Structure formats: structure tokens, C-alpha cells
Amino acid sequence: MVPLVLSPWRHAALTACLAGNLPATAGSQHFTVYRLEPAPHTPAAGPELVVVHSFRPEQIDNNLGFYVANELLPLLSAARGRLPELSSADDPFAHDQQTLFEHCVGAIVRSMDSNEGRAWHRFYVNSLAALEGAMQSDEPAIDFIGPFGAIYRRLMDLARGASLLDAGTCFGFLPLLLARRGTPPDRIVGCDLDAALVGFANAYARRAGLASVSFTVADLLGDDLARLGQFDTVTCVHVLEHLAPEQTLTALRALWQLTARRLIVTVPLEEQPDPRFGHRQTFTTERLAILGRELGGRFQTFELHGCWLVVDR
């Protein structure tokens, strides 16, 4: 079971009722957590948690992940400590941090509108505008938008040719930013294993009239990746850390087969894999250099909000 997420902008009566009748179990700048006791004579396993967030509609963007990871997950962990002991089968938090993180981000987005399509469209509009602003700024930022603005700006400088594939595209921000720019590459494709994310990105592209970009479901470790064909540039942004170490070279070789000119890989720089985001391994520029030699092309490595590997044919 995961917490119910409410917005004062849409659920004003409910959130006012909670604030007026229940003491908060935990709270921070953007979140308040309440504990709901089960009704008498119900088969409920124990109390449930409700999260009320304070984000305004214009704040619904990819920075939600930053606040969920750094504010909400610790609050939920603290609230769990105040709940009675439950068996793992009945514990509402008996799932991994990544699942809880992803649920909470999506629940905040959906809490702002009764229409899910409209809610995600707002998320895309706000996120892309914020990223474009960050790409024009040299101001350091500790959130999610600022670093990725710098990463995407560098990726656009490094891209070569008339076609680009973004592998493991997640929300598809890089392909969409390229398409909004209206300059080459003229053929832009994003692929991801998550069909829901592919659907969100395609829906935004259609509504925004971005004909040069499309998104499709594909597995970096699957046999279907080759069907995408070759691209002048292939990018893989903060993806490899989600794979098991023994899968890394297999995925890179598959991407290299799709690369006509340049493969660009970026990964976070961490001492330990971050379980909040489902990371399973860490990288250094030295390790990326070893992988670059395995591919056989001319390569370079450097650091910019993580480690980079650029391999040329």
C-alpha cells in the first residue's frame, strides 16, 4: 500500500478537514503527512498515511523528484517508525524506495487535475520551459532541473548528423528539447522500456505539434533494439547505472551497433548506488574508458554533472 497524495489546490475541503481534525505525523517545507486510523470492525491491517503537498500548478515539473527524494521519502520513513509493528506482508511500506519514489512523483502530478492527460501535459510544459531556462543559465543549482539543463546543453553541442536516438529516454526531455529547437537533427527518436513514459512523451509531442520526434518501447538488452535502425548520434543519459554490472557492456555494444557516427553516454558520479532511483552500480571516468576501449572506436571521457563517455566511429 502506498500513501494517498492530496493537493490543496484541488482537494481544499479534504486538506482543510485533515488539518483541522488530525495532528500531523510529520512535516517539511513542501509536505505534511497524516496518519489515518482504520475504521472500527474493518479488515484493514493498520493505519494509512496521507500526504498533502503545497506545490502550485506552475511548480509541477521535474523538480518534484528532487523534493520527493530529499524531503518526502525521509518523512515517510520517519512516519513508518511511528506506526505499530506490522508483518512485511501487511506493511504499507513493504516495497523498495524506487517504487515509492516513482509512485509519489506521479501521484503529485495527478493530484493537480481530474484529467490525467491534462495533468501530465502541465508537467511537460513546466519541465521543458524550466529546462530551457536552465540551459541558458550558468548559475549552479542543486535541484534536478539545473544539472540536467547543463547536461542537455552539452549533449546538443556534441550531437552530430541528421538523426539521433535517445536510449532510455525516460520522460523524453532531450528529444523534445531538440525538436522544439527546430534545427537538426531532423529525425529524433526516444526509446524506453516503460510504456507509460513512452505514452506520456508521445502525447506531449502530438499536442505540441512536434512532428520530427517520436517515442517507442524498446529494451536495451532485448533483441528488438536493432529494429530501430541506425542513427548518426546515439545518446544514453543516466541509464547504465540502472543495469547490473554484467549487463553494461552488452547494452553498450547494442547501442554501438545503432551508432553511425557518435555514441554519447553519461552516468551519475556516486560513491554508492542510490536506491531511491533504482541505481545498481557506480562509475568513474576510468571505468568508462575501459568500456570505450571495448567498443573499439575513438573515445574521450570527462566529468560534467557526472561522468561522460563519447565514442566516435
Taking CA atoms, 245 is separated from 7, 145, 193, 251, 295, in Å, by 40, 28, 18, 10, 16
**How far is the C-alpha of 254 from the C-alpha of 275, rounded, in Å?**
26
pLDDT of res. 66: 97
Predicted TM-score (pTM) above 0.85: yes
Binning pLDDT at 50, 70 and 90, where does residue 22 land? very high
pLDDT of res. 90: 47
In this prediction, what percent of the chain has a pLDDT beyond 90?
A: 85
Across the chain, mean pLDDT equals: 93
CATH number of 132-312: 3.40.50.150
pLDDT of res. 93: 44
pLDDT of res. 1: 66
Name the more confident of 44 and 41: 41
Q: Where in the chain is the domain with CATH 3.40.50.150?
A: 132-312
What is the DSSP secondary-structure string of 138-197? ----SSSHHHHHHHHHHHHHH--SSEEEEET-TT-HHHHHHHHHT-S-SEEEEEES-HHH
pLDDT of res. 80: 73
